[in-house]
C-alpha cells in the first residue's frame, strides 16, 4: 500500500486488508514522508495488528517505485496492491487465494464498486460499463481500453517476476502497462465478484488528471500494440475513439 498524506482514508484501507477472514495476510505500507498524521496513525495500528502490518518509512521515487519496493519485501506468493484511499471488500482475499497460490504464472481480476469520500456507495454508469467490458478478457480487447480495476486485481509472484515490476517512468497508467505485460505471459481468470471499492474524491489523480491519464494510456497501448501488426493497429484505432468518448463521459458522469 503506497501511502502519502491520505490520513483521512488510511485507517479504513488498512483495516479492509488486515481484517480479511480465511487467509493469512500481511500488509506493507510504504510512506515516503507524510505530514498529515498518517505515520502516527500507522504506528498506532501497528500496535494493534502486530507483525502483520509492516511499516516502511523511507523516501521513494513515486507510487510505482513504492509498489516495487513493497513487492520485493513481501513474503507471500499471492500479491496485489491497494491504494490508501481505496478498500477491499470483506472476503475478497479468500476468494482469490486459491486461484493464485501455485508456481505457474497466474493473475486475475474481479469487479470494483465506487464509493465517495465518506465511504458511501455510488451508483455509476462507469462502474457498470467497466464490469460489462471486463466480463470477458482478450489481450486485443485490453489494447482498446483499460477496463481492469487495479484495486480488484491480484497475481502470484511467478508472473510478477516473469513480467517485471511497475515501470517507474509511468505515473498515471503503470497498472495498464502491467496488465498488458501480464497478458503477454498468461490470460487472467475473471471473477464475477466485487472484490474492492474505488474511492472518488477531489484529490484523487483519476479525478483531477483524467485527460492526462487517458493520453498516457493510449501511448502505453501503442507501445504494446506495435508488434501485433494490423490487429494491433485496429485495436489502437478503437482505443483512440473510446478515449474521446470516455473524456466526454467522465465530464458528465464522474462524481
Who's near 42: CB < 8 A, 6+ residues apart? Answer: 3, 10, 14, 29, 31, 53, 55
Could you tell me whether strands 189-199 and 107-115 are parallel, antiparallel, or unpaired per DSSP bridges? parallel
Domains of the chain: 7-253 (3.90.550.10)
Lookup: cell for 159: 508472473
pLDDT of 145 higher than 80: yes
Q: How confident is the model over 164-222, as pLDDT tens digits?
A: 999 999 999 999 999 999 999 999 999 999 999 999 876 655 556 788 999 999 999 99
Who's near 204: CB < 8 A, 6+ residues apart? Answer: 85
Lookup: cell for 215: 493520453
pLDDT of 31 higher than 90: yes
Of all residues in the chain, the percent with pLDDT exceeding 90 is: 88
CB count, 10 Å around CB of 94? Answer: 13
Q: How confident is the model over 50-101, as pLDDT tens digits?
A: 999 999 999 999 999 999 999 999 999 999 999 999 999 999 999 999 999 9
Who's near 65: CB < 8 A, 6+ residues apart? Answer: 166, 168
pLDDT mean over 109-135: 92
- In the structure, what pLDDT confidence band is assigned to residue 246 with cuts at 50, 70 and 90? confident
pLDDT of 254 higher than 60: no
Q: How many helices (H) and strands (E) does the chain have?
A: 11, 7
Give the residues across from 156 on adjacent strands. Answer: 78
> Hey, what's the torsion of the CAs at 123, 212, 34, 169, to 10 degrees?
130
Q: How far apart are CA 124 and CA 104, in angstroms?
A: 36
Amino acid at each position: 500500500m503506497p501511502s502519502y498524506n491520505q490520513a483521512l482514508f488510511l485507517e479504513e484501507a488498512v483495516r479492509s486488508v488486515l481484517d480479511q477472514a480465511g487467509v493469512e495476510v500481511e500488509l506493507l505500507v510504504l510512506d515516503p514522508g507524510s505530514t498529515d498524521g498518517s505515520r502516527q496513525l500507522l504506528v498506532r495500528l501497528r500496535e494493534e495488528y502486530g507483525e502483520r502490518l509492516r511499516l516502511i518509512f523511507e523516501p521513494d521515487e513515486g507510487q510505482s517505485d513504492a509498489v516495487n519496493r513493497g513487492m520485493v519485501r513481501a513474503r507471500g506468493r499471492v500479491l496485489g496492491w491497494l491504494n490508501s484511499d481505496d478498500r477491499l471488500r470483506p472476503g475478497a482475499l479468500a476468494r482469490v487465494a486459491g486461484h493464485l497460490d501455485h508456481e505457474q504464472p497466474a493473475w486475475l481480476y474481479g469487479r470494483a464498486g465506487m464509493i465517495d469520500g465518506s465511504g458511501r456507495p455510488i451508483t455509476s454508469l462507469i462502474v457498470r460499463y467497466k464490469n460489462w467490458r471486463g466480463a470477458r478478457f482478450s489481450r486485443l480487447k485490453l489494447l482498446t481500453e483499460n477496463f481492469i480495476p487495479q484495486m480488484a486485481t491480484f497475481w502470484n509472484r511467478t508472473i510478477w517476476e516473469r513480467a517485471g515490476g511497475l515501470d517507474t517512468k509511468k505515473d498515471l497508467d503503470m497498472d495498464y502497462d502491467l496488465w498488458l505485460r501480464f497478458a503477454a505471459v498468461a490470460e487472467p481468470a475473471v471473477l464475477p465478484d466485487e472484490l474492492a471499492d474505488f474511492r472518488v474524491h477531489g484529490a484523487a489523480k483519476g479525478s483531477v488528471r483524467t485527460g492526462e491519464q487517458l493520453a498516457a494510456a493510449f501511448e502505453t497501448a501503442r507501445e504494446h500494440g506495435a508488434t501485433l501488426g494490423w490487429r494491433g493497429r485496429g485495436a489502437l484505432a478503437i482505443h483512440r475513439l473510446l478515449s474521446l468518448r470516455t473524456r466526454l463521459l467522465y465530464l458528465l458522469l464522474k462524481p
